[in-house]
Structures are given as C-alpha cells and as structure tokens.
C-alpha cells in the first residue's frame, strides 16, 4: 500500500485555523488515492486538536533532534513525505533524505512566510513594500527549503506568480493547490433573517489581531450610521489585550472561540475583514463564500481569490471607502443577494475540488516514476541540499549529543 507520512508543525485544529482545515483537505485527497497515512508531530496536542484516528489516520509523537525519528521513518518507509511548513522541513528533511532517499518530499507552505513577513515590516513602518523587504533570513530559509523538496504546494496564484516571475523559480518544482471546496450552501438564511456584522480569526496570528484593531478604528463611524448594528468578533486564543476592546454599549463584542463557523456565519449579515497585510488565501473569506455570507475586505484580503470574477461584496480602496461600502451592503437587500450569488460563483469556478485533484495526483504519480530525472533537473536543489543541510544536520546532531 502507498504510504504518506505527514510531519506536522502542530496537531490540526480545523475549528481554530484555516491551516487546520487545509491539512484535513490534503489528508482527504491522499486517502481517496488509497494512501495509508501517518501523522507525526513533536508539539503537544491541545483540547481543540482534531482526532485524526477517527478518519483512519495513524498518529505518533516525535522528538526534535533525536535519532529515534530515523528508526521510525525507516519502519514507515513512506512513498511520500509531506512537510507542514518550511520549519518542519528544516528539522526533519535531512533525516528523511538519509533514511528514505526514494520518498517524494513535498512541502506545504500554507502561505509564503517571507512574503507575510516583508509586508508586516512595511506596514508597521507605514511605508510601501520594496524588493529589499523580501530578502530576509526567513526568505533565505524558506527558499532553500523549497529547492530541497521535490514539490512545493503554493496556495495562492499571486504567490505562484511571485515565485516564478520575480524569483525565476522553475515551475516544475511548484504546484498551485488552493483551498478546496465541496458543496456550497444554497439554503443559507436570507438577508432579513440576519442581524449583525462578524469578524473571525485566530488571535495568535498577528495579521488577525491587526485586522481587529482596524475594525475598532472604523467601528465608531459605522455605528453612527447603523445605530442598532453590532460587530461580533470571533477567534480562538483570545488575548487579554483583545478582551479589553470589548464594549457592550458600542456593540463591539469580543466573542472568543466559535463553536461552529456555520452557525455564527448563518446569523451574521456581513463579514468584515479590513486585512492590512498577510499572505496566502484568507480562510475566513473562503468559508464566507461557501456559506453564503457577503463580505467587505481590502485588496490584501481578496488577493488570489476571485481572479476576473466580481467579489462577493466589496473590496475597499481605503478606510473611507471601507466604511461607506460596509454601510451600503448592510442596508441594501438587493445588493446583498447579488453579492451572495457572486460568492457562490467564485467557489464553483475557482475552488471546487475536482478542478485540482486529478492534476495534483498525476503530478505525484509522475514524480514516483521519474524521481531521479526530476531531481537531476533541479540542480539548484541538489546544491542547496548539499550546502545548507550539512549545517542543519550537524547542528541537530550536536543538540542531540548535548541533550544526552
């Protein structure tokens, strides 16, 4: 039987993060191709971690900088190894290469970390991004990881363009695989059955926190025009500084973790997402389209999502426009209903699972049959593998010896 080993950065939490949902989607893709799957992780599970055993995925805890991993990976003898983010590939990639040289090594970026970091720096310095912002230590580490792997999954068309056009990466080692959607929800509650605004996002993720701060800044102007409106802010791992923004009188309500995204989305009229910076695709906006919830966001929020299609609501040009469009969409039933339909269209034409699964699995099968040729053609990867992993490898061995 074909064996997939996933080495996770954390145990998936699909009710807390878009990354958790993404991981379950990848697992489903491989299971439909008859892969037996084992999920390995050195982090401790939380009370919100998904029980992978219930979907027939074996799990095992592993240790950082410990040769016990070598024996385990040899025993599992995987056909494919999937690294969850580049930091995991740095830790375990060389061990996989040494012990299972014929295993296909796939990196799932989730989003390009160096892109998010560059934008964060520019945003916090209140200036436009310049090329030099990209060239950080994170950039060098992430790029090296991409080159070391046989295939890297990118979640956004924008990131594919950045990688191939700006950084001249060979498309043969990259694959565009966005969020994937099954069926949409055409029976979502109607306009008149919805009452408030909603925002959602894990508070541990800095762009989400900055989005909440943007909302707090805009809310007074929105509330002045919509006196009865409320904003319900949901998200896992609420910080104390976030709780301090809660104000019943203003209708700015910090709700914390949402037990069910479907439930809270079905009661809200509009998702507000004035996202100031970030990378990848925004899970909150993706889920809103699936569930028939129009949104108002920024160019950064909508990046890579709608292509040439109309947005399911509005993409605001600036703060003033965001406030105006928020009030307009909340108050106009006809406009809202049209926006909802546009969201369904984006999902159907750009994110349905059947648009991607065949090409992706064909790529994996091609790598299985042509792995040596593929690696020889990726000569930059061979160079990076030789140079950078030597330092990672011996640092890990030194740590292991020190710990023992």
Please report where in the chains the tokens 């930059």 appear, as a residue.
380
Q: Which residues pair with 231 in a beta bridge?
A: 197, 252
- 188 versus 125: which is more confidently predicted? 125
Give the helix, strand, coil percentages of the chain, each rounded to 5: 50, 15, 30
- 149-197 pLDDT, tens digit per residue, is 999 999 999 999 999 999 999 999 999 999 999 777 667 899 999 999 9
User: pLDDT grade, residue 89 (50/70/90)?
Assistant: very high
How does strand 151-154 pair with strand 58-61? unpaired
pLDDT in tens, 195-249: 999 999 999 999 999 999 999 999 999 999 999 999 999 999 999 999 999 999 9
In this prediction the pTM is 0.93
Per-residue model confidence (pLDDT) at position 16: 86
* Sheet (strand 104-108) strand order: 58-61, 35-41, 2-8, 80-84, 104-108, 151-154, 174-176
CA angle 79, 179, 174 (to 5 degrees): 50
Backbone angles phi, psi at 49, to 5 degrees: -65, 140
In order of 2, 9, 291, 367, the CA distances from 80 in angstroms are: 8, 17, 34, 10
CA distances from 52 to 20, 265, 339, 391, 398 (A): 11, 26, 36, 34, 33
What per-residue confidence (pLDDT) applies to 403? 73
pLDDT level of residue 394 (50, 70, 90 thresholds)? low
First and final C-alpha spacing in the chain: 37
Residues 106-129: what's their mean pLDDT?
Answer: 97
CA angle 76–77–81, rounded 5-degree value: 90
Map out the domains of the chain with their CATH numbers. 2-180+353-403 (3.40.50.2000), 191-350 (3.40.50.2000)
**C-beta atoms surrounding 187 within 10 Å:** 8
Six token digits for residue 254:
């910090």
Q: What is the pLDDT of residues 289-327, one digit of tens each?
A: 999 999 999 999 999 999 999 999 999 999 999 999 999
Q: Distance (Å, rounded) from C-alpha 210 to C-alpha 216?
A: 10
CA distance 53 to 386: 37
Q: Is 101 exposed, middle or buried (0-12, 13-18, 19+ CB in 10 A)?
A: exposed
Determine the length of the chain: 404
Residue 263: CA count within 13 A, CB half-sphere: 6
Identify the bridge partners of residue 296 per DSSP, sorted by sequence position.
272, 314
For residues 177 and 394, what is the distance between their CA atoms, to the nearest angstrom? 34
C-alpha of 366 from chain center: 26
Query: 61: which strand partners?
Result: 41
Q: How far apart are CA 116 and CA 60, in angstroms?
A: 31
Let me know: does 303 contact 329? Beta carbons within 8 Å.
no
């Amino acid at each position: 039987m074909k064996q997939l080993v996933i080495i996770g950065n954390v145990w998936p939490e699909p009710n807390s993060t878009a990354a958790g949902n993404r991981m379950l989607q990848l697992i489903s893709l491989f299971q439909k191709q008859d892969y037996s799957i084992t999920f390995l992780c050195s982090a401790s599970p939380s009370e919100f971690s998904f029980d992978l055993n219930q979907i027939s995925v074996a799990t095992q805890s592993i240790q950082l900088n410990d040769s016990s991993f070598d024996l385990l990976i040899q025993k599992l003898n995987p056909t494919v190894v999937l690294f969850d983010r580049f930091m995991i590939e740095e830790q375990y990639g060389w061990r996989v290469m040494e012990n299972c040289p014929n295993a296909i090594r796939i990196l799932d970026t989730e989003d390009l970390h160096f892109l998010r970091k560059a934008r964060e720096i520019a945003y916090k310095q209140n200036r436009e991004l310049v090329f030099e912002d990209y060239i950080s230590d994170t950039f060098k580490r992430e790029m090296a990881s991409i080159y070391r792997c046989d295939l890297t999954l990118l979640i956004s068309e924008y990131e594919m363009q950045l990688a191939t056009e700006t950084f001249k990466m060979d498309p043969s080692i990259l694959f565009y695989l966005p969020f994937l959607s099954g069926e949409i929800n055409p029976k979502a509650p109607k306009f008149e059955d919805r009452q408030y605004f909603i925002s959602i996002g894990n508070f541990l993720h800095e762009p989400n926190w900055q989005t909440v701060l943007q909302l707090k800044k805009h809310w007074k102007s929105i509330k002045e025009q919509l006196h009865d409106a409320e904003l319900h802010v949901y998200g896992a791992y609420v910080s104390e500084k976030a709780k301090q923004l809660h104000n019943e009188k203003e209708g700015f309500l910090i709700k914390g973790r949402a037990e069910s995204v479907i439930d809270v989305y079905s009661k809200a009229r509009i998702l507000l997402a004035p996202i100031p910076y970030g990378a990848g695709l925004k899970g909150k906006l993706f889920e809103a389209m699936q569930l028939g919830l129009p949104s108002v966001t920024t160019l950064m929020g909508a990046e890579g999502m709608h292509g040439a299609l109309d947005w399911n609501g509005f993409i605001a040009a600036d703060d003033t426009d965001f406030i105006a469009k928020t009030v307009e969409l909340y108050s106009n039933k006809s406009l809202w209903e049209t926006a909802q339909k546009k969201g369904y269209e984006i999902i159907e034409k750009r994110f349905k699972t059947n648009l991607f699964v065949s090409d992706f699995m064909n790529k994996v099968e091609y790598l299985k049959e042509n792995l040596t040729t593929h690696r020889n053609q990726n000569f930059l990867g061979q160079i990076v593998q030789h140079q950078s992993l030597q330092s990672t490898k011996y640092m890990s061995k030194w740590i292991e010896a020190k710990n023992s």
